[in-house]
Chains A and B, each alone.
Chain A
Amino acid sequence: MQSRHSVAPVSLTLPARRHSTFRIVWSILFILTFLGSYRLAQVKPLLLLEPEGRRNIRTFVTGMFPPDLSWEFVSLLGRPIIETIQLSLMGTFMAIVIGLPLGLLATRSLTFTGILNEWEIVDSRPSVFLLRKGTYLLARAILSLFRTIPEFVWAFMFVRAVGLGPFPGVLAIGISYGGMLGKVYSEILEHVNPGPLEALQTTGASRVTVLFYGLLPQALPNLVSYTLYRWECAIRASTILGFVGAGGIGQQLEISMRMFNFNQVLTLVAILFVMVAGVDTLSARIRHAILDRSVD
C-alpha cells in the first residue's frame, strides 16, 4: 500500500502533441496535390446547377421511368446475360491457368530463399542462384505488367487484334486477372507455416513433393477463397467489357445509352444489380464454407 503512494506520476500534464515531420510533410503534399488536381480536373461544381445540366439530368431521370419491360426487349437479353456469366467463368479459368504457374515462380520461398533452398545455396554455384533469382524477378515483372494495364484496355486491344465477340473479353479478363491472381497466390504461398515443409524436406522429399504435400494443402483454402473473390470482380468487369464490343450485357447497355433509350438503361441496370448481388452472396457463402471447414 505504501509503495503505491510513493510512486510519483510520470507527468502532471498531458504530453504535448508531437507533430512529426512525416505528418507535416505529407499534409503539405496533400494540400498541394489537392489544389493542383482541382485545377487540372477542371472542377466546376456549378455546372451541375446550370439550367442545361439540370435539364439533361431531368431528361435522363424521367426517361428512365417506366423501365422497358416489353417482351421484345427483355427477350433480347437472355443471351447476353448468359454470355456475361460464361465470359467471367472462362476468364477466371484462364486467369488461374496464367496466374498459378507464374505465381509459383514468383514465390520467393519456393525459388530462392527460405528453408527449401537454405541447404542448397550454401554449396551451389552462384550461377544457379542467379538463374533462380532471375526467374523470380522475371515472373514478377510479367505479373505486374499483366495486372497494371486495366482489363478494359486489354479488351480494347484484343478486340482490335482478333475481332468482336466474347473471345477477346475472355482473353482480357484472363490476362489482367491472371496478373492479380499470380501476385496474391505468391503472397499467400510465402506466408504458409514453414514447419511442415521442413519436416517433409528432412524425409528427403523432392521440391515438387514438398509443393504438393506441404505447401498447397496449407494454402488451398485461401487460394480458393481469393479466386472466388476475383470471380465476383470478373462478373462486374465483364458487364462493362461489352462497351468495347467484347460481348455480354455491356454491349446492350452501350447501345441503349447511345440511342437515348433510358428506360432500357434502367432495366439493364436492374438486371446488373440482381446479377452482381446474386454472385456476391453465392461466392460469400462458398468462401465462408471453405474457410470454416479449413479451421476445424
Chain B
Amino acid sequence: MRNLMVAGGILALMVWSYVGTEFSLRELLGGESAIQMLAYVRKLFPPDLSTQFLLKTGYWALETFAMSFLGTILAILIACSLVFLSSRNLMFAGLLFDMERSRPWVRVLRTLLCFSAKAVLNLLRTIPHLVWALILVFAVGLGPFPGMLALGIHTGGVLGRLFGEVIENVEVQPIEALQATGAGRLQILFYGILPQVLPECVAYTLYRWEVNIREAVILGYVGAGGLGQQIQIAISLFLEHRLLTLILAIYLIVTAVDALSAYLRSRMA
C-alpha cells in the first residue's frame, strides 16, 4: 500500500513536470527537434584543427585551469579562516567546555560568534557562483581574475560547511586523553583534532577542485575568460567547427583534472 502511494506520487510528479516543461517525447525521437539536433550535430564536424586555433585553445584551457586552481586555493583560505569559528564543538559545546565554569557572557559571545560564522558560510554557499561572478565582473572588470574570486568565494562556503561537519563529528577519545594530560585548547586542536580531520578535508578539497574545473568553464559565460567565454563567442557567432574543438578541449582538461585528483586521493588514503 505504501509502495503504491510512493509510486503514484512519483508518477504524478512526472506528469506534472512533463506538462510544465513542454517536454515532448515525440519531438525528441523523430519530430522537428530531433531533425534540428541532428542538423546541428552535423554542422559541428569537422572540428577546427588549424595550428593557430589549437594554440589559442591551449592557452584558454590553461586559463580555465588556472582559474579553478587558484579558486580552490582561495576557497581553502576562506574555509580555514571561518571553519574553526563555526564548529560548535570548538566554540561552546561538548567535551572541551564541560568543565568550564567561566562567566556566562563569554559563553554567549562564543555562541554568537559561532552562529555568525555559520551564517557567513551559508551566505557564501547559497549564492550561486554565476551570481558571484556577475557581481565581481561588475566590480573589477572582465577577465579570469573575477572568475577565480567567484569560484573561491562560493567554494569557500561549501568547503567551510564540509570541513565543519568533519570537525564536529571528530572522535572524542583522543581529545579526552589529551585533556586529561592537561593540554590546552590550542594544543588539543593541533594534536587531537587536526590530525584526525586532515585526510578527509584534503579529499573533500580535491573533490571540489574537480567540480571547480567544470564551473570555471561555466563562468566564462559572464565574461570571466577561459574556455567558457570562447564557447559563448563560438555559439553566438555560429562558429560550429571551433565549438567542437573547444568542447574537445573541455573534455580533455576535465578528464585530466579528474584523473589527477583521483590519483592524489588514492595516494593520500
Residues of chain A touching chain B, judged by Cβ–Cβ distance below 8 Å, are: 22, 26, 33-34, 36-38, 40-44, 47-48, 53, 56-57, 60, 82-83, 85-87, 89-90, 93, 144-145, 148-150, 152-153, 156-158, 160-162, 165-167, 169-171, 236, 239-240, 243-244, 247, 253, 257, 265, 269, 272-273, 276-277
B121 within 8 A of A: no
Closest beta carbon of chain A to B122's beta carbon, Å: 8
Partner of B126, one of A48, A83, A165, A276: A276
Interchain residue pairs with CB less than 8 A apart (11): A37-B66, A86-B20, A89-B13, A145-B251, A149-B251, A157-B40, A157-B243, A160-B40, A247-B21, A272-B127, A276-B126
**What residues on B are CB-neighbors of A165 within 8 Å?**
22
Residue of B nearest to A273 (CB): B126
Which residues of chain B in 33-81 are interfacial with respect to chain A, using CB atoms and an 8 Å cutoff? 33, 36-37, 39-40, 62-63, 65-67, 69-70, 73
Range of interface residues on B (Cβ < 8 Å) = 35 or more
**What residues on A are CB-neighbors of B73 within 8 Å?**
34
Which residues of chain B in 201-227 are interfacial with respect to chain A, using CB atoms and an 8 Å cutoff? 214-215, 217-218, 221-222
**What residues on A are CB-neighbors of B97 within 8 Å?**
none
Docked CA distance A287–B24 (Å):
30
Do B63 and A40 touch across chains, with their CB atoms under 8 A apart? yes
Docked CA distance A57–B138 (Å):
8
Residues of chain B touching chain A, judged by Cβ–Cβ distance below 8 Å, are: 13-14, 16-18, 20-24, 27-28, 33, 36-37, 39-40, 62-63, 65-67, 69-70, 73, 126-128, 130-131, 134-135, 138-141, 143-145, 147-148, 214-215, 217-218, 221-222, 228, 231-232, 235, 243, 247, 250-251, 254-255, 258, 264, 267
**What residues on A are CB-neighbors of B16 within 8 Å?**
86, 89
Closest beta carbon of chain A to B49's beta carbon, Å: 19
Residue of A nearest to B216 (CB): A150
Asked if A162 meets B255 with Cβ closer than 8 Å, knowing A41-B63, A153-B250, A167-B24, the reply is no
**What residues on B are CB-neighbors of A44 within 8 Å?**
140, 145
Docked CA distance A13–B254 (Å):
46
**What residues on B are CB-neighbors of A166 within 8 Å?**
20-23
Do B131 and A153 touch across chains, with their CB atoms under 8 A apart? no
Closest beta carbon of chain A to B146's beta carbon, Å: 9
Docked CA distance A26–B260 (Å):
12
Docked CA distance A144–B250 (Å):
12
Do B215 and A150 touch across chains, with their CB atoms under 8 A apart? yes
Do A148 and B250 touch across chains, with their CB atoms under 8 A apart? yes
Do B33 and A167 touch across chains, with their CB atoms under 8 A apart? yes
Residue of A nearest to B250 (CB): A149
What 9 A-B pairs are tightest by C-beta distance, nearest first?
A: A37-B66, A86-B20, A86-B17, A89-B17, A40-B66, A161-B40, A166-B21, A90-B17, A148-B254
Closest beta carbon of chain B to A29's beta carbon, Å: 10
Docked CA distance A48–B73 (Å):
18
